[in-house]
Amino acid sequence: MTAVSIPTPASRRTPAAIVRDCAVHTWRNFIHIAREPLRLSDVTVQPILFTLLFVYVFGAGVSLPDGGSYTQFAIAGLLGLNLTTSAIGTAVGLSTDLATGVIDRFRTLPQWPAAVLVGRSIADLMTAALCTAIVLLTGLVVGWRPDGTVLQTAGAIGLVLLFAYAMSWVCACLGIISKDAESAQNLGLILLFPLSFVSNALVPTQHMPAALRAIADYNPVSAMTAAARQLFSNPNPSAAIGAWPMQHPVLASLIWSVGLIAVAAPVATVLYRRRTAD
């Protein structure tokens, strides 16, 4: 008699099976990118355009409080700007999957339900790494240089990618609660563009109105940007500000990133379970 192999129910998946499920969904997202390369425009073309635009057009009109090169100042901020705004792709992608019915097909398979979310977040982390590389390479072309040690530079890149991963989970929540891709994109823009621009990413916060400056100094994008500038040993006017996150930007960035993941990942999982429930 021939033995029949019965798939393991999702509720009893082994750790190895869970890893395979996540890897399959990560690979699925890479296949979508390969078939539609324009999906990467927000992490390939946009970083180049933003770097050239802000360095050569707006940079001439910005003076730093203690002097210094705007190019050296801007690159860390452009990392924050590009990675925050490109995270909207997570929301759009998940919302599209939920609206097209493909998730219903996944639910019939013996897989870990949260693999859809984890696979998406890992794929988005890889695209964030690509975006980071393009911003830094474009910065090198226009004259930016990291003046810190190799270890400090690696630490800055690690902090930036950790923040990008945290933002992908926040946007996963937005995508799940949105009814369609257009709503997800609009909601993401409403929330993430103010987060990006009301910060120290592109201009020092010292010249902002008091209320706006207080918001900017405690903004997670500001903490990540200031941490990257400190580790790159680039001009960092925020170091002269008394706000705790600006005095301890590396620690503040770590707290923001880990805190956002700790909150957003479970919330996204619960929202996903409710959205896909019968």
- Under 8 Å between Cβ of 65 and 237: yes
Question: Measured between alpha carbons, how far is 227 from 248 in angstroms, rounded to an integer?
Answer: 8
Residue 4 pLDDT more than 50? no
Domain ranges of the chain: 38-275
Q: What is the pLDDT of residues 14-41, one digit of tens each?
A: 888 888 888 888 888 888 777 777 777 8
Q: Is 38 left (phi over 0), alpha (psi -120 to 50) or beta?
A: alpha
Confidence of residue 180 (pLDDT cuts 50, 70, 90): confident
In this prediction, residue 3 carries a pLDDT of 44
What is the rounded average pLDDT of the residues 227-248? 94
Q: What is the pTM of this model?
A: 0.89
> pLDDT tens digits for 76-133?
999 999 999 989 988 988 888 888 877 777 777 778 888 888 999 999 999 999 999 9
Predicted pLDDT at 266: 95
Closest CA to 123 of 10, 256, 38, 27: 27
Distance of CA 256 to the CA centre of its chain: 12
pLDDT of residue 2: 43
Inform me whether the pLDDT recorded for 9 exceeds 70.
no
**In terms of DSSP H, where are the helices of the chain?**
15-35, 41-53, 70-86, 88-100, 102-107, 115-142, 150-177, 181-197, 210-217, 220-232, 244-247, 249-275
